[in-house]
Homo-oligomer: A and B are copies of this chain.
Amino acid sequence: MDDEPATSPKWQERAVNRSLRAARERAISRGDQFIAAAADLLRTTGKADFTVQEVVDRSGLSLRSFYQHFATKDDLLLAIIEETVVHYIVALRPLIEAEPDPAEQLRIFVTKLFGSPASDDPASRGLVLFHWHLAATRTDEFAATLAPQLELVTEILQAGSASGVFRTDLSVPVLAAMVTNTLVSLLDMRVLGVHLADEPVTADHVVRWCLAAVTAPPST
């Protein structure tokens, strides 16, 4: 009954419970708890190969409950990535929109992406691992999780195309896909520690690369 070792804030649950769509509310809450637990594991252990059991244990809930909310482990991973991407882009967007010059916007985007969060945060290592597992098993849903990022890039490119700073011989959607793909995979490589060149690839390198790729080619 209530032999909780002072670990589960039941009061909190109650607080949530007493509202209207109790069941639904609670369900969302549970789901979040699992996500939080998983993110926590990712953060603390830096390992991406956590087990469902571990997540369950850390969440203080039960396995039964887990599968009530997520059909499969992959669904959880998908949820985590989605959460992460959205968070990240939401934080980044204002910084970007404050800058009028599209080229500069791109620079900010890339710089931020290759700045603090990825390199040190061990959690991101985990995320990266999911990335490709999910890209393989849940192709469409995976692509969907990148939507926010893709959208922001698209806006930047759109502006740049309109103002003539960026090339127009390739459509904005294609360019956006290229940029997004480049950034994601480059970030993955970096996080994983795959070094194709002896010389490390810096954020500045990436900025210049992308800028050139997105800028109108000189002649032809």
Residues of A that sit less than 8 Å from B by CB: 48, 128-129, 131-133, 135-136, 139, 142-143, 146, 150, 167, 169-171, 173-178, 180-182, 184-186, 188-189, 192-199, 201, 205-206, 208-218
In the complex, A189 Cα to B213 Cα: how many Å?
19
Q: Which residue of B lies closest to A146 (CB)?
A: B196
A20 to chain B, nearest CB (A): 37
Q: Given A135-B194, A215-B218, output 19 extra A-B contacts at Cβ < 8 Å.
A: A129-B136, A131-B132, A132-B133, A135-B189, A139-B193, A170-B208, A171-B197, A173-B197, A174-B199, A175-B209, A177-B201, A178-B209, A181-B182, A181-B189, A182-B182, A185-B188, A212-B212, A212-B215, A216-B218
B180 to A196, Cβ gap below 8 A? yes
B212 touches A196 (CB 8 A): no
The number of times this chain is found in the oligomer is 2
Of listed A48, A135, A173, A178, residue having the most chain B CB within 10 A: A178
A125 to chain B, nearest CB (A): 8
Shortest distance between the CB of A30 and any CB in chain B (Å): 30
Q: Please, which residues of chain B bring their CB within 8 A of the CB of A170? A: 205, 208-209
Q: Which residues of B contact A216 (CB under 8 A)?
A: 218
CA distance A213 to B135 in the complex (A): 26
CB-based contact B146/A192 at 8 Å: no
**In the complex the two chains form, is B192's CB within 8 Å of A177's CB?**
no
A208, B217: Cβ atoms closer than 8 Å: yes
Contacts of A193 in B (CB 8 A): 139
Residues of B within 8 A of A128 (CB): 136
Question: Contact: B209 with A213, CB < 8 Å?
Answer: yes
**Across the two chains, which residue of chain B brings its CB closest to A190?**
B181
Given A136-B129, A201-B174, do A196 and B211 touch, yes or no (CB 8 Å)?
Answer: no
B136 touches A48 (CB 8 A): yes
Q: B residues within 8 A CB of A136?
A: 48, 128-129, 132, 192
Complex Cα spacing A48 to B146, Å: 24
Q: How far is the CB of A148 from chain B (nearest CB, A)?
A: 12
